């Protein structure tokens, strides 16, 4: 009987031979893992596209905006080369911060989705508070959203913040974001187009 227990659940080559239910669960788990990897990779690509676009604005003398460093916690003292082990902690700040020509601050969070909607819950409570505080003090505050790395939208913070009241739910469908779409031309997301115009008008009215 003990020998039967040892070979039970294995195929002719000696590998585990799971039941259909277990096999389906394993497939579903692997699909979720692959989707997660794809989502993270797409998010990194989107951030790289944003950085390329911000470099273009910087070279034009229109803005200087930087990626906010990821918060991390050291796990051990540094070695002789100054290297140390660390882990990322919970993100508490929006992804990008900087200054527009004329002195106005700008801050925005970047989110990518492969779906047809973007969820309010994609931002942490700390990011919501930070964007709210910056917006209240007069900064240009936004959420930059990529849909499938093809269409890009600059959502004003007031719209994102009041999503539930404006749309009746805590998500926005891409089809509803047409007023906030920004162009993608020659490898540059024109993510500040219109923001400069607004700033120029503010300066002219002083």
What is the rounded distance in angstroms from the CA atom of residue 163 to the CA atom of residue 156?
A: 11
Residue carrying the six token digits 């790395």: 149
- DSSP 8-state secondary structure symbol assigned to residue 124: -
Find all residues with CB under 8 Å of 69, minimum gap 6, and list them: none
Query: Mean pLDDT across the stretch 186-205?
Result: 72
pLDDT of residue 7: 46
CATH 3.40.1350.10 matches 29-204: yes
How far apart, in whole angstroms, are the C-alpha atoms of residue 93 and residue 123?
10
Q: Is 39's pLDDT higher than 50?
A: yes
Instruction: Give the phi and the psi of residue 90 in degrees, each rounded to 5.
Output: -60, 130
Domain boundaries, the chain: 29-204
With cut-offs at 50, 70 and 90, classify the pLDDT of residue 93: confident
Which residue has tokens 């918060």?
Answer: 71
Tens digit of each residue's pLDDT (9 = 90 or more) over 97-138: 999 999 999 999 999 999 999 999 999 999 999 999 999 999
DSSP states of 149-178: TTEEEEEEHHHHHTHHHHHSSSEEEGGG-G
Say whether pTM exceeds 0.85. no
Number of Cα atoms under 13 Å in the Cβ half of residue 174: 15
94 or 70, which is more confident: 94
d(CA 76, CA 62): 41
What pLDDT is stored for residue 18 in this prediction? 64
pLDDT at residue 5, rounded to an integer: 45
Token pair in block for residue 148: 């499938």
Please give the backbone phi and psi of residue 25, each rounded to the nearest 5 degrees, phi first: -65, -40
The rounded distance, in Å, linking the Cα atoms of 41 and 193 is: 26
- Percent of the chain topping pLDDT 90: 60
């Amino acid at each position: 009987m003990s020998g039967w227990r040892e070979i039970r659940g294995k195929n002719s080559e000696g590998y585990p031979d799971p039941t259909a239910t277990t096999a389906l669960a394993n497939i579903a788990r692997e699909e979720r893992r692959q989707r997660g990897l794809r989502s993270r990779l797409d998010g990194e690509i989107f951030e790289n596209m944003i950085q390329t676009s911000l470099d273009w604005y910087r070279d034009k003398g229109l803005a200087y905006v930087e990626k906010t460093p990821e918060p991390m916690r050291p796990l051990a003292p540094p070695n002789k080369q100054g290297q140390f082990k660390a882990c990322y902690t919970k993100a508490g700040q929006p992804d990008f911060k900087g200054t527009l020509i004329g002195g106005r601050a700008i801050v925005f969070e970047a989110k990518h989705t492969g779906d047809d909607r973007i969820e309010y819950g994609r931002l942490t409570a700390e990011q919501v508070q930070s964007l709210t505080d910056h917006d209240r003090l007069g900064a240009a505050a936004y959420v930059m959203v990529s849909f499938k790395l093809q269409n890009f939208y600059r959502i004003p913070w007031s719209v994102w913040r009041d999503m539930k009241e404006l749309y009746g739910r805590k998500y926005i469908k891409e089809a509803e974001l047409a007023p906030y779409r920004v162009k993608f031309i020659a490898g540059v997301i024109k993510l500040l187009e219109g923001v400069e115009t607004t700033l120029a008008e503010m300066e002219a009215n002083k």
